[in-house]
């Protein structure tokens, strides 16, 4: 990545939307009026959290696979709220499962309840009656100052939907599978119509709610490889009216080769123990569900010897201790060898064989499943001899370590690889380096760049280069592509918000890319939003 030692300003944004849950068809009476009540969309869709203090986590959860985490601080209670349409003079029951100290549940301007301490999940319930002319109600949860993170899940507001609208939307049309991987299926459909307006869609997998979205596409992850699934879609409106099922679409996931599918798939944000008050990797894993980290940086020490940051020992130090903890928690790491700055192995190892030997020391030290060479700057990326040396060394270690996956990470233009990137890809083909993944870093384009649009354009440019060089199909090329972004502000002042990063992740999922990373977990505080989003990458 380009920036290594400078903590850039955070500019994240909470995600808003109108997804929802299953409601009784063709009637305004609904079992639950809340949008995204269990956070199974993997986002904060429908919820507004003050100060960006809310995030969606994969653990701990009460039901399903996601829950809300509110990072209360000394100056903020991490209040998360949602406004719904209600009927005047009507009784409603609000409930939520919560965990943590001093967690509150209530309705704005009305009644509330709270728990002083909940070491495990505890249900809070409160009832209220709307006013004689009340048309909406804001329900909320929050923690308390200095009491730390609270968790909430399976939130419910029982009662009739607001307004006099009883007309259900039409069924979504033309449902179709737009892509598959070993663990996910991407779907799209034509928009439904409604007399007032459609607010979202529920996607069902074999009759069970799988995800809720506001647009006309979705990716359903967490599926078994080589398995056939049936999907239907329902539209809904704000009053709680739900459409009939769409037509059924059947899709089969890809076969598993024992490494996460029939191809290499990895969600691995950067973790750097040499800078920026590094967080506990296992605590971040618990909070976000992330399994892999890209550990930075392996550099040269006293010639052609690998070491962390050129100074910390390869084994026996804090880096090895962190890796052991990550693995004990069910995760793994890929080392980042090289980077933008520092004393690198590529120029310091005088031959291809010597460089392969240095890589092998790292592989042997940690019994690695994958290695990443981050090739940048004039000493490696813009040096033909060093480019060839790196490619040759990767070819050697891959031949000597069956099953090892190899990654090349390098800069890009907003249209795809520059001339040095083109050369790197062409030489990888000519030398038979058998690289598993070509990961680009789509940032530092300058100014107020469209980070989503430019990332997609740069990735499509890389795809075209891989197709023309290797003779792959578009799908094969996508499988060999990775995106490594930069959360919040880049060196050039571009801003990638959490919402934009979610768009990039969803696009990567829908195109079956092989890898997703960002620089860096160290900068993803306090709610680990980008890490949580990255954990939803399924390829």
311 occurs within a structural domain = yes
When mean pLDDT is compared across 10-14, 135-139, 171-175, the lowest value belongs to 10-14
Residues 331 and 470 both lie in one domain: yes
Tell me which residues are annotated as active site: 376
Helix (H) or strand (E) holding 533: helix 529-535
Residues 419 and 302 both lie in one domain: yes
143 occurs within a structural domain = yes
- For residue 113, the enclosing domain spans 29-160
CATH code of the domain covering residue 418? 3.20.20.80
> Measured between alpha carbons, how far is 39 from 41 in angstroms, rounded to an integer?
5
* Tens of pLDDT, residues 187-235: 889 999 988 788 888 899 998 888 878 788 887 877 777 788 999 999 9
* Final residue belonging to a domain, choices 160, 177, 192: 160
Residue from 30, 54, 59, 31 nearest 44 by CA: 54
CATH code of the domain covering residue 36? 2.60.120.260
64 occurs within a structural domain = yes
Residue 29 pLDDT exceeds 50:
no
* Tens of pLDDT, residues 255-278: 553 434 456 899 999 999 998 789
**Global confidence as pTM:** 0.56
Residues 514 and 396 both lie in one domain: yes
CA 522 to chain centre: 16
Residues 153 and 271 both lie in one domain: no
459 occurs within a structural domain = yes
Residues 328 and 467 both lie in one domain: yes
Question: 3-class SS at 491?
Answer: coil
530 occurs within a structural domain = yes
Q: How many domains are contained in the chain?
A: 2
* Final residue belonging to a domain, choices 127, 160, 193: 160
Residues 274 and 409 both lie in one domain: yes
Question: 3-class SS at 480?
Answer: coil
462 occurs within a structural domain = yes
* Final residue belonging to a domain, choices 107, 138, 160: 160
183 occurs within a structural domain = no
* pLDDT recorded at residue 259: 39
Residue 224 DSSP one-character state: P
Rounded to an integer, the average pLDDT of 51-64 is 85
216 occurs within a structural domain = no
List, as one string, the DSSP characters of 274-305: TSS-PPPHHHHHHHH---EEEEEEEEEETTTE
When mean pLDDT is compared across 3-7, 151-155, 502-506, the lowest value belongs to 3-7
CB 270, CB 1: distance < 8 Å? yes
């Amino acid at each position: 990545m380009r920036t290594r030692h400078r903590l850039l300003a955070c500019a994240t944004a909470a995600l808003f939307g109108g997804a929802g849950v299953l409601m009784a068809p063709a009637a305004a009476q609904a079992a639950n009026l809340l949008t995204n009540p269990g956070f199974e969309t993997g986002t904060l869709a429908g919820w507004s959290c003050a100060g960006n203090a809310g995030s969606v986590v994969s653990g701990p959860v009460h039901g399903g696979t996601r829950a809300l985490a509110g990072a209360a601080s000394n100056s903020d209670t991490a209040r998360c709220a949602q406004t719904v349409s209600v009927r005047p003079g009507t009784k409603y029951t609000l409930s939520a499962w919560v965990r943590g100290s001093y967690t509150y549940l209530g309705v704005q301007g009305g009644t509330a309840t709270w728990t002083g301490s909940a070491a495990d999940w505890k249900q809070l319930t409160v009832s209220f009656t709307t006013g004689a002319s009340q048309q909406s109600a804001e329900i909320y949860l929050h923690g308390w100052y200095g009491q730390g993170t609270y968790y909430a899940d399976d939130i419910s507001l029982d009662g009739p939907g607001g307004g006099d609208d009883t007309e259900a939307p039409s069924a979504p049309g033309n449902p179709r599978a737009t892509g598959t991987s070993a663990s996910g299926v991407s779907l799209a459909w034509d928009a439904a119509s409604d007399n007032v307006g459609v607010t979202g869609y529920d996607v069902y997998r074999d009759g069970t709610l799988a995800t809720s979205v506001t647009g006309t596409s979705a990716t359903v992850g967490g599926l078994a490889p080589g398995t056939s699934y049936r999907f239907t879609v329902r539209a809904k409106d704000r009053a709680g009216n739900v459409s009939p099922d769409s037509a059924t679409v059947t899709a089969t996931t890809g076969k598993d080769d024992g490494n996460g599918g029939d191809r290499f798939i990895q969600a691995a944000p950067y973790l750097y123990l040499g800078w920026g008050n590094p967080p506990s990797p296992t605590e971040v894993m618990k909070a976000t569900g992330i399994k892999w980290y890209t550990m930075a940086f392996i550099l040269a020490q006293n010639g052609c010897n690998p070491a962390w940051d050129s100074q910390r020992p390869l084994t026996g130090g804090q880096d090895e201790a962190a890796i052991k903890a990550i693995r004990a928690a069910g995760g793994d790491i890929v080392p980042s060898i090289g980077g933008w700055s520092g004393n690198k192995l590529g120029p310091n190892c005088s031959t291809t064989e010597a460089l392969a030997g240095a890589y092998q020391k790292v592989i042997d030290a940690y019994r690695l499943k994958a290695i990443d060479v981050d090739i940048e700057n004039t000493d490696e990326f813009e040096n033909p001899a060093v480019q060839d040396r790196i490619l040759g060394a990767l070819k050697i270690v891959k031949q000597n370590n069956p099953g090892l996956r190899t990654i090349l990470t390098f800069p890009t233009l907003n249209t795809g690889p520059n001339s040095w990137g083109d050369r790197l890809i062409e030489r990888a083909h000519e030398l038979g380096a058998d690289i598993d993944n070509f990961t680009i870093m789509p940032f530092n384009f300058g100014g107020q760049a469209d980070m989503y649009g430019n990332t997609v354009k740069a990735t499509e440019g890389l795809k075209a280069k891989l197709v023309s060089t290797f003779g792959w199909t578009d799908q094969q090329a996508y499988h060999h592509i990775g995106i490594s972004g930069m959360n919040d502000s880049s060196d050039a002042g571009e801003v990638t918000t959490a919402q934009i990063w979610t768009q990039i992740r969803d696009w990567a999922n829908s195109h079956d890319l092989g890898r997703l990373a960002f620089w860096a977990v160290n900068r993803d505080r306090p709610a680990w939003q980008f890490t949580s989003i990255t954990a939803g990458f399924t390829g």
